[in-house]
Every structure is written in C-alpha cells, then in structure tokens.
Amino acid sequence: MTAQANWTFPAELQPRAEELRFDLDAALDALVLVRTEVPEDAFTAGILGTERTGNGVVIREDGLVLTVGYLITEATSVWLTTNRGAALPGFPLAYDQATGFGLVQPLGKLDAGMLARGSAARCRVGDELVVAGHGGRAHALLASVFAKREFAGYWEYLLEEALFTRPAHPQWGGAAAIGLDGKLLGIGSLFVQEKQDDESIEGNMLVPIDLLEPILDDLLKLGRSSRPARPWLGMYTTEVADHLVVAGLADGGPADRAGLEVGDLLLEVAGERPRNLAHLFRSVWRLGPAGVAVPLTYARNGTISRAVLRSADRNDFLRKPHLH
C-alpha cells in the first residue's frame, strides 16, 4: 500500500480542474484501492501472484466496484480503500473472462462517490481524457488516445476494439479512463510498449466500458456471463516473425494434457492455418463452446504432428469465491 500511495504525477502531467467540464475531485472520489490475497495453491497464483493491488471504480450508488478481473480472480480476501482513508472488505462478485471485467461488492457502506458510464465508441484518436487511480489528483494523468484497435493477448483473450492511451499510468490495473464529460470510458488492463511511425510509445491498454452493459445483469445474478463459455486450451501463444509459437502451458490444461510443449510451432487449427494470434483464437472459438474437440497441427524439431485437444472451460480451473 505504501508503494501505491507515496508518489505523485508532476503538476504538468495532471489534469487542470479549471479546464474540464466536470467536477474533477468528485469524479476522482469514485476511485478506490483494491487489495486482494490469493491462496498459494490457486491456479493463477504462479502467474498473477498471491498479493495483488490495483484500482477500482464505484459505478452504482450501492457501492458496486468495477475493476479489472485479474485483481480479484481466486481471491479469498478483498479490501477496498477510499480516498478518505476508509477501508472495508469486499466480495469478488463476478469475473468475465471474455471482457476482463471484474465486480466487487463492498460488505458495508462505501464512503465514496460514483462515476456514470459513458461510451468509448465515441472516442477518437487524439482525444484527451483522464486516466486515474486511487489517490486523488496526485494519481490522475491527462492522457490522449493514440489508437483504437483489436487486441489479442497470449492468455487466449481478444478484444475487437481496445482503447490505447499515452503517456502510461504506472498503476494501470483497474484505473479509470474518464472522458472530458466526466463519464467512465474504460478500465485499465495493461502497460504497452510499441512503435508507431518510428516513434516509441509507452502507454496503457484499457477495456472499453461499452462491453459492460450487455453482460452486467448476468454478472450480478450469475457471477459470469450467461453466454456459453469459449473453449480454452491453456496454451500461451506468441507471435514470432510469421510464426505462432507455444510460449507456455497451463499445468494440467488441455494443451498440456495433449502433449504440446514450449517451442512448438502451431501450423493449423481444424485444417486452417491461423494468420495471427487473433485468427488463432477465432478459429478455435468458432468450433463450438468449451468442451469441443480442437484439432491442431504443429511442428517440433522439424517434425509435423497432429493432436486433438479436448478444450475446457477456464473457470473450471479457478477457485470459486466464498462469502464468510
């Protein structure tokens, strides 16, 4: 928590309240610190750690907090801290694998404001916005949108159109992208580094808030989307030149059980050669819901092999939250 609090953006990087069309302090008051603890034997502990810290945004008057799902996945302890210093426990209510959103219900009255939801679809490249975490103006950054495009993550994750902003917020996990109308536009997910027109860019990838509305009722009632779960292979794949290479495997996951190994080159999914990571995921997902057989062709040390993976629902590998 100390590392989260004891820093500040230089004044020139912070938004100027007098230049905004909304009450900046009131908006920032909706940001909370999210701290979670996860058991050492949890499925995600080795990748995401057992102590996780990030941000969340209050999106309803009852205190419901929206955050990025990896902060609360398999958490057995969740604590929320407001800008006024009040702390209370929360319950990890929902995690949606497809979008990456997570919801936390405070177990008590949360002394914080709330942010109304806007629409990232209305953002244009070059638009300014505020990217903020818990901690008030000191942790608020005036940023701009440098891209809106597809994003594919090696952990079998795909967004049709993600929001990319710069400069980078150093505590991006669960941070809020706030439009100049004071409404929530997205939730921080990743730090990114890339080149654009020979310029090196460091920034953040944010999940557009537009993806929440179609699934919010399901998340509140079921803890997940009611849509059929996508087939999951437990195969962490990366793009190397023109090749798709297995960079890691989830222990006990479908790819691990089928005998795939780190370094294998993926050649075909159901007889079709995937062009890139996004195409690979779409090729798998269109075969059917979780549990469907996924035929793969791969190369290892110059030898071409085939395997049929029995896909799974990723949620079946995760610890379920318990309300004590």
Helix H, strand E, coil C: the string for 34-91 is EEEECCCCCCCHHHHCCEEEEEEEECCCCCCEEEEHHHCCCCCEEEEECCCCCEEEEE
What pLDDT does 5 receive? 63
Q: Which amino acid is at 319?
A: R
Peptide bond into 228 cis (omega under 30): no
Write out the chain's pLDDT in tens, 324 residues.
335 567 999 999 999 999 999 999 999 999 999 999 999 999 999 999 999 999 999 999 999 999 999 999 999 999 999 999 999 999 999 999 999 999 999 999 998 999 999 999 999 999 999 999 999 999 999 999 999 999 999 999 999 999 999 999 999 999 999 999 999 999 999 999 988 888 899 999 999 999 999 999 999 999 999 999 999 999 999 999 889 999 999 999 999 999 999 999 999 999 999 999 999 999 999 999 999 999 999 999 999 999 999 999 999 999 987 654
In the Cβ-directed half-sphere of 245, how many Cα atoms lie within 13 Å?
11
Q: Which among 203, 227, 251 is the end of a domain?
A: 227
Domain co-membership, 240 together with 223: no
Domain co-membership, 117 together with 15: yes
The range of the structural domain enclosing residue 6 comes to: 1-227
Cα gap 79→70, rounded to integer Å: 15
Torsion angles phi and psi, residue 77, rounded to 5: -140, 130
Q: Which among 227, 249, 276 is the end of a domain?
A: 227
Are 211 and 278 in contact by the 8 Å Cβ rule? The answer is no
Domain co-membership, 150 together with 288: no
Asked if residue 324 belongs to a domain, the reply is no
Domain co-membership, 129 together with 192: yes
The SS3 call for residue 234 is coil
Whole-prediction pTM value?
0.95
What pLDDT does 195 receive? 84
Asked if residue 115 belongs to a domain, the reply is yes
| Tokens standing for residue 31 | 């940001």
Are 117 and 209 in contact by the 8 Å Cβ rule? The answer is yes
Domain co-membership, 221 together with 244: no
Cα gap 59→64, rounded to integer Å: 6
User: For the chain, what is the domain count?
Assistant: 2
Q: What residue has token string 């798709």?
A: 244
Are 63 and 93 in contact by the 8 Å Cβ rule? The answer is no
